[in-house]
Structure 1
Amino acid sequence: MFQLLATFFIISLTGALAPGPLTTMAIVEGSRRGKWSGTRLAIGHGLVEGAYVALIVLVLWLGREAILRQPIIAGLIALVGGLFLAWMGLGMGVGAWRHRLSLEGEAAQEAQFGLVPEGSLVTLSNPYWWIWWALVTPLYLQDALAWGIIGLVILYLVHWSTDLGAPAGTCSALAFIVG
């Protein structure tokens, strides 16, 4: 079990340390709201992730893991995520064209829903996250299933420790630098 957990910890770092929307939000909010903003973002991320892991485990338990490896599934995830990112980019482009965006150092708008829900929304909008969990983790989850629910919980907590450490560490460092 230790080898599984150690390996999954290292693999989890490939997701947690990959720059993406959650990292960007942690940088913005860490410099604005201080060191605890990363923890709140990670909690929102973890809530969504826990539900998605439960869904993957259900698929594994039903013996339908081949569904997760179908190219059409990865393609659909990439398409939906890509469309969402294109929509966000288009919104930024239109805002710049209409001179609604400024490069004069104005502060970004504060999170509208609170950092926990926004951590969840940012996670759901990231196609890399969907694909990473669907394609990288099923074998690890299946191995953890041999230890029962305790094995799954421990495996998830090992993973989530990397998710908690990345945004929380970023925000703590920024809060220290910014003052």
Structure 2
Amino acid sequence: MIPGPLFLFTVSESLKKDAKVGFKIAFGHIIIEAVLIVFIFFGLKDFLQSPMFIRITSIVGAIALMAMGFILIRKTSKMSLATKEQVNFDYGVITGGAFFSAVSPGFIIWWATIGASLFVQALLSGLIGLIVLALGHWLADIAWHGFISYSVNKGKRYLSDLLYQRIMRLLALGLIAMGIFFLIQFFQMSLASRL
């Protein structure tokens, strides 16, 4: 539920599609989380927390977020709620949910720190503890993205095309800003590791 690229993607897709799109996006997000939980289960927590992994994730995520933001800005003037003229990144919402989770350095850093700690603690209760925590976490993700997509989709009837285009530009700028933030974070981590 970190406000970031996945949230912006959920808002964007909810404006373009139906009120239930958040559930599909959450499913894509859950796929990536399941992979990370398997990593944690098999003892790869140290790998996820390694400075090299975090730096690589930061630079790749930063570039991907900025590229998506620039593509979105370039296409917004053609967007219309009436004609369904949208930006097409050539993937579905489930894949988009997975993609925007995977390229978000904030998501990876959360999982490498807080998430890993939570799930390692859950493992102290055995596999059942891990399953209960995972299901509870995933239900919260589904509820959150479902709520966002429903609210945004039902509220779009109050938008003009001009306001819609402005919102999409703002979301695109948000992606670019997050990309810049993670790029700065990458350079700071790189400099700190050399000292």
1:139 to 1:46, Cα distance in 2 relative to 1, 3 A: same
Identity value in percent: 25
Tell whether the 8 Å contact from 2:28 to 2:98 is kept in structure 1 after alignment: yes
TM-superposed CA distance for 1:105, in Å, is: 4.7
Tell whether the 8 Å contact from 1:41 to 1:120 is kept in structure 2 after alignment: yes
TM-superposed CA distance for 1:102, in Å, is: 4.4
One-letter identity of the residue aligned with 2:17: R
Deviating runs (4+, > 6 A) in structure 1?
A: none
Q: Which whole-Å CA distance do the structure 1 matches of 2:147 and 2:124 have between them?
A: 33
TM-score by length of 2: 0.68
TM-superposed CA distance for 1:153, in Å, is: 0.9
Q: Which residue number in structure 2 is paired with residue 116 of structure 1?
A: 94
The correspondence of residues 1-179 of structure 1 with structure 2, limited to 5 A, is 16=1, 18-59=2-43, 65-89=45-69, 91-92=70-71, 100-103=74-77, 105-106=79-80, 107-110=85-88, 112-179=90-157
Q: Which whole-Å CA distance do the structure 2 matches of 1:102 and 1:25 have between them?
A: 14
Which segments of 5 or more consecutive residues in structure 2 lack a partner in the other structure?
158-195
Q: C-alpha offsets along residues 38-90 of structure 1, whole Å, 9 cap, x if unaligned?
A: 00110111112111211122125xxxx4444333332222122223234435x
Tell whether the 8 Å contact from 1:34 to 1:174 is kept in structure 2 after alignment: no
Aligned residues: 153
Which segments of 5 or more consecutive residues in structure 1 lack a partner in the other structure?
1-15
Q: C-alpha offsets along residues 133-171 of structure 1, whole Å, 9 cap, x if unaligned?
A: 012222211111122111111111111122112211011
For the aligned residue pairs, the C-alpha RMSD in angstroms reads: 2.4
TM-score by length of 1: 0.73
Q: Which whole-Å CA distance do the structure 2 matches of 1:101 and 1:108 have between them?
A: 8
Tell whether the 8 Å contact from 1:56 to 1:134 is kept in structure 2 after alignment: no
Q: Which residue number in structure 2 is paired with residue 7 of structure 1?
A: none
Q: Which whole-Å CA distance do the structure 1 matches of 2:48 and 2:13 have between them?
A: 34
Tell whether the 8 Å contact from 2:26 to 2:142 is kept in structure 1 after alignment: yes
Q: Which whole-Å CA distance do the structure 1 matches of 2:126 and 2:154 have between them?
A: 42
Q: Which whole-Å CA distance do the structure 2 matches of 1:125 and 1:21 have between them?
A: 8
Q: Which whole-Å CA distance do the structure 2 matches of 1:129 and 1:108 have between them?
A: 26
Q: Which whole-Å CA distance do the structure 2 matches of 1:40 and 1:75 have between them?
A: 29
